[in-house]
Each structure stands twice: as C-alpha cells, then as structure tokens.
Structure 1
Amino acid sequence: MNIDLIKKIIKEQFFTNFFQPIYHLVNQKVLGYESLFRCTLVKNPEHLFNYALQHGLVHELDTASITNSLREFKKYHSHHLFLSLNVYPSTISMSFFTQFLEELVNSFSIPSRQIVLEINESERLTNLDKLSKSICLLQEKGFLIALDDFGKGEYSFHSLTEINPDIIKLDRCFAKNLANDPKKQETLLYALNLLGESNKIILEGIETEEDMRCAKSLGVSYGQGYYFAKPLPLHMINVHSAT
C-alpha cells in the first residue's frame, strides 16, 4: 500500500459503502443504519484507514466515505431513520469539519438529528480538550455522538469522562455467546446500570437468536449484528423481525 493508492481510491471513488441495520429490540423495528466502508482494492478497511492515518490522509478518506454514505442514504432511506457514520477523532477535531458536515447534510436535505457520528477509538486520543470542544459544537448543531466499540478500546473510560456521548456502542465481546455465559451476563448488566441512565446503549455483534433474546431480557434496548443482517448495499438489505 502507498499514498498514491489512497489518493486514487479517494479521487476516483474506488470504494462503496455497505450498511447494517440497528434494531430497537423492544418494538422489533429498524432504528437506523451504520455505514461501513468497503474497497475492492484493499480488502481490509481498517488497514487502509490506519495507513491513511499514519500518512495524514485519514480526514480525506473519512469525508469521502461520509459524503458517499449520505448520498446512498438519501436515495433509499431518509424518513425518521438515523444514519451512523464512523469517523476518526482527528477528523472531528479539524477546524473545517463541523461546517463541512452541516453544509453536506443541508445539501441532501437530511436533518442533523438523524446523523450519528461514531468516534473510532483505534486512533490514540492525544488532544481530548480539542476533540471535546468540536463535539460540543456538533451537538449544538443537532448531531449525535456515539462512542464505538466501548469496552474494547484502551481509552474508553477515559473518553467517557471527557466526552458527553449521546450513544454508547458496546463492543461485540459483550454479545458473543452471551446466552451461555452467566459471568458475561453479569458484566453486561453492570455496564447497562453504569452507562444506561444518561446514554442510549447499542449492543454490537449479536449473531444468534439466543444471544439476542438474552440481551433483550437483560434490558438491552438496541442491537446490531449478523443475526439481523450482514452489511450490504442499502437497497439489498432484507430486514426482518427481531422477535
């Protein structure tokens, strides 16, 4: 991989975005979608973004993905559903980002309250004060903020003390084999009691009906994972009841 390849991917849009539904487990309806970057030239999106981060191009990759995600979302689903967008902290902290995002959603006539920005914690958080100020401004504009992969990232609890997220996405490690693991159930309950009073909680990585039912019985309201649907182009997703 090299810088020229990343620039080519961005300039010629050799990428697409797949979408995965997020369910409200209680009323069994789709609440929104998470947009996920896909590129045929680089099979692992995480490797691509990490390389872009190392070479100062992650904000260009982030904004290209966000633009395409909103374009696709507007084509197929724009009424009352939210769109969750992954974005690196350094991109959010860029001075241009809030205005860029505000102008972009206005151009697609999508209300800011339907947009969730998932903060990617694979990037080391070196300036939490600057990030916090940017997040406050975005929230003032109506955008929602989510902490992604909570419980996995090294800085999750530190981030929580500095950032005021609207949503917390619990890492898939909480969901894996949940129905057969009493200790994991106890840990999930603790996390819900600790975090759920002032935040919406989404459990990622639900892959079986048994784990979904267990999560629901423990008080998880929102879920995402292969049990419901794999990431696909938005028009190809066949959502089903989350009973």
Structure 2
Amino acid sequence: MSRHIIHWYQPIIQLDAGSILGYEALLRNVLNIYVSPQNLFKYAKKAGISLKLDTYSLQLAMKNANSMLNTLFVNVLPSTLLNKNFIRWWDNHINLSAPIVLELSEIEPVANWSDLKYTVSELHRRGVKIAIDDMGTGYSSLRHWCDLNPDFVKLDGYYINDLTKDNRKQRVIKSLLNLFENTADLIAEKIETQDELHVIRDLGVKYAQGYILGKPAPLQYIIKNLKGDDFEK
C-alpha cells in the first residue's frame, strides 16, 4: 500500500493579508490521483487498515515537511487517536520539524469522548494544534467538538454551496464565528468562486481554502511556485 500513497498539498489562505497560513496534505494514490482522500479512507476501513494508513500518512507528512510550507495540516481519524498506543507511537515516530495541525473528521462516530479529549490534550502539550474538519455534517454534537478546544474549525463545503443566496447558511456561519470567538478560527473549505470569497470575507471568516485560491499539487510544484518558478506543464 505505502509505495502507492503520496500527498498533494493545497494552500490555506489568510484572507485579510492574502498570505498563506499553511498547506493541507491530501492523500493521493499514484495509480489514480483522482481518487479522493475520503474514498481512500473508505477502502482502508473496509480492508481493516485505517490505523496503518493514518499512521503512515502522518509519518510521510512530517518526513516531507518543509519550512516553506509554514503550518502543515494533516487529516487523522478520531479512531486513530483513540488507539491505546497512539501517544506512545507519536513520541517514538514523530519529530515536529514544522508546525502541525491534525484535522479530526466527523465522518466516523467517536467511541469515547473522554479518551479522545485526553489524547487531544496530550497532543496540545506536545505543541500540536487541532482542527475540526467537516464541521456540521457528521455524527457528533457541537458540544463534544467544543470540549476538545480546537484551534481551527473547518467549515464543510455544504455551507459554501449556494452561500451567496442562502441567508440561513450565512446565519449559521455567523453563529459559529460567535461561538468560537477568541478560541478557534474558522476555515471555509471548497471556495470556488469570487462571489463565495467575497461573502465569507464579509461575514468575518479569517481563512479559506479552495480551487480559486489554489489547487492541490505535488510538493515539488508547490516549492517551485513558492520560489517564484513556473509550474512544469
């Protein structure tokens, strides 16, 4: 499995400054780069190798971490953090060569919230930041995610679709901004049009990610771009 798995990187932009906060490391299969990370995790779960895929992804991301990328965002399943040996594994295998944010997804149910909260607190003690991915679309209550004291909250693309015309979705985003004020920053995902970009900026969202701001690309292309070179065609 591992020889076919790589990361592509997508920028996360700080809107008021127009600068790059960091990059999300997105899993890709070199045999078919168009298979989404979600489908890769679905396959891994079906094959019983979710933990193996997650830990490999974390090690690969840190191995390829580059100071030019600023903060590195890496997806991880809550079930991986709930493994009883995870913190020991982390201490033995992960060397923080760059700032890292672990994105916890709502795509699977959490078996034990108190244990997850403990693991997250241990990661915080080690200088790791936490993001909640896909906020508002998954299994768990908002209260539980708030209890984890995340540093970032990533707003699912559902709330961006038709956002420019949907006042209800705009009110939801305003409510989340108020809820997490002074504790966590919102990141709007899947921003694909200038109109969507203008609306989330006007609402007060600080960070955004999406094709209009930068598409996922291999690491060598990202580094070339950051150095001012042209991408290879």
TM over 0.5: yes
Q: Which amino acid counterpart does residue 65 of structure 2 have in structure 1?
A: F
Alignment of 1:1-243 (within 5 A): 9-10=1-2, 13-41=3-31, 43-74=35-66, 78-79=67-68, 81-106=70-95, 110-111=97-98, 114-237=99-222, 238=225
> Aligned with 2:80: secondary structure?
helix
Identity %: 35
Count of matched residue pairs: 223
> Aligned with 1:27: secondary structure?
coil
| CA spacing shift, 1:23–1:161, aligned 2, 3 Å | closer
| CA spacing shift, 1:67–1:204, aligned 2, 3 Å | same
What TM-score do you get using the length of structure 1 for normalisation? 0.83
Find the aligned partners of 1:152 and 1:30 in 2 and give their Cα distance.
26
**Residue 72 of structure 1: how far off its partner (Å):** 2.2
Contact 1:128–1:162, Cα closer than 8 Å, also in 2: no
Find the aligned partners of 1:79 and 1:226 in 2 and give their Cα distance.
20
Structure 1 residue runs without a partner (length 5+): 1-8
Structure 2 residue runs without a partner (length 5+): 229-233
**Residue 165 of structure 1: how far off its partner (Å):** 1.2
Q: Which amino acid counterpart does residue 118 of structure 2 have in structure 1?
A: K
> Aligned with 2:217: secondary structure?
coil
What TM-score do you get using the length of structure 2 for normalisation? 0.86
Find the aligned partners of 1:19 and 1:231 in 2 and give their Cα distance.
5
Contact 1:147–1:165, Cα closer than 8 Å, also in 2: yes
